[in-house]
A = this chain, B = another copy of it.
């Protein structure tokens, strides 16, 4: 395994899969494959092949490489591999992991496995891991590294660089150096860059920013990661409730937090729960389970449309041609609502829309929906006239204007309202908006038909 990846590796499909080589017992070729690929590529491959086969490949890796690959895996896959590793190899693996990665794995594995892992650790590593495990799920404490090089306030630059040299080997990063007072309270942050570029006789206290950015270990990890991304911070010091330094969130973990949040939002916006693990390796039943609850709820909510249509059964019986346009009209409403909801969920996520903007968002989306509806009405008039006649076409056109304006307004409003009552805005978006708009859109359509056609 080379220490780094060759370019182009991500853009071309791998030739001859690791799985094929292993099932055909071509171990020399498999070893060569492992030797040629970077840790994250090997981890991706191991995640998608059966655990038994993956364990064979894993045992072929050298000690350091195995650790690097192991840390790239998701907790579920880590557990599967751990079960196939025994003796000194097991201790090396769990002892060598970064404490934050280890704590994250331990949260996900069964208690029996967790106990075995903790028992295999040295005292200092076990203490650090236990501390991380104490933070709530999804908090910064869950993702931060506790191995930080902190500087005392009263050091010279030369002395500070000596501290970095002495303690830097074990820390995950030495580029951001929190400065603390004698009771470990965070006083500022120094950058290694500034230390290296400064006069060695200067004092660290002259270099630090005295109002450093930090977050509490119990704060949501996503907030910390998004702050780092917006303020372009490489690492973020994390403190306890008394402002004592307890760790640091590093940029690679921040990126991971952001990607997990995106995956979750994307899944939620389509009415699924996020799942843990590799798409190709997750069981079909488990995949179905991530979608089952919402799909059922949406079907039950859609019962509204059955009720509405039944209420207008007489109208439909008088003008049977009205049925032709039901799918098209509710489709248009659903699409307009989903567009607005998606735009607003994203704008909320990146901080562009605040709660106080509710009125303005409604007014914006109502106008956007009206404009789009008017445009669709022109098309709808044509379609209605071609398939049936002018009066029906007029009904379709007017309905499109009203439905689009209504759908966009609802789509833009619901995510903000959800947030107001403490629900993740992504949860209420596209499919829920669509189902709601389906039923109300039908009412708009049938009432318009009655008024225009005089029935």
Contact = CB atoms under 8 A, between A and B. Distances in A.
Interface stretch (A52-60, A76-84, A123-131, A295-303): A295-303
Contacts of A372: 288, 291-292, 295
Given A272-B339, A335-B271, A305 B328 contact: yes
Given A280-B352, A430-B430, A252 B232 contact: yes
Interface string A29-68: 0000000001110001000100000000000000000000
A13 B270 contact: no
B270 A338 contact: yes
Interface in A235-284: 251-252, 255, 258-259, 262-263, 265-267, 269-272, 278-280, 284
A115 interface: no
Interface string A336-349: 10110111111100
B343 A272 contact: yes
B295 A332 contact: yes
A364 B211 contact: no
A3 B232 CA distance: 12
A352 B44 contact: yes
Contact of A10 (B161, B226, B352, B356): B226
A325 interface: yes
Interface stretch (A86-94, A106-114, A315-323, A417-425): A315-323
A455 interface: no
Contacts of A306: 324-325, 327-328, 383, 387
Contacts of A438: 327, 331
Interface residues of A, number: 133
A309 interface: yes
Contact of A367 (B251, B280, B284): B284
Contacts of A296: 375-376, 379
Nearest to A215: B7
A271 B338 contact: yes
Contact of A326 (B320, B326, B344): B326
A24 interface: no
A100 to B, nearest CB: 13
Contact of A40 (B219, B230, B316): B230
Nearest to A44: B351
Interface string A368-411: 10011001100110010001000000000000100010000000
A116 interface: no
B213 A7 contact: yes
Contacts of A26: none
Given A168-B196, A232-B252, A371 B339 contact: no
A164 interface: yes
B309 A431 contact: no
Contact of A3 (B211, B227, B435): B211
Given A40-B231, A323-B323, 10 more contacts: A4-B209, A5-B213, A165-B197, A266-B342, A279-B352, A280-B364, A302-B331, A310-B324, A330-B331, A430-B430
* List of 4 A-B pairs having minimum Cβ-Cβ separation, nearest first: A270-B342, A279-B347, A305-B327, A302-B328
23 contacts: A4-B209, A7-B214, A38-B231, A40-B231, A169-B197, A174-B193, A175-B175, A255-B258, A258-B258, A259-B350, A267-B346, A270-B338, A272-B342, A280-B357, A284-B368, A288-B371, A291-B339, A295-B375, A295-B376, A296-B375, A320-B320, A331-B438, A335-B434
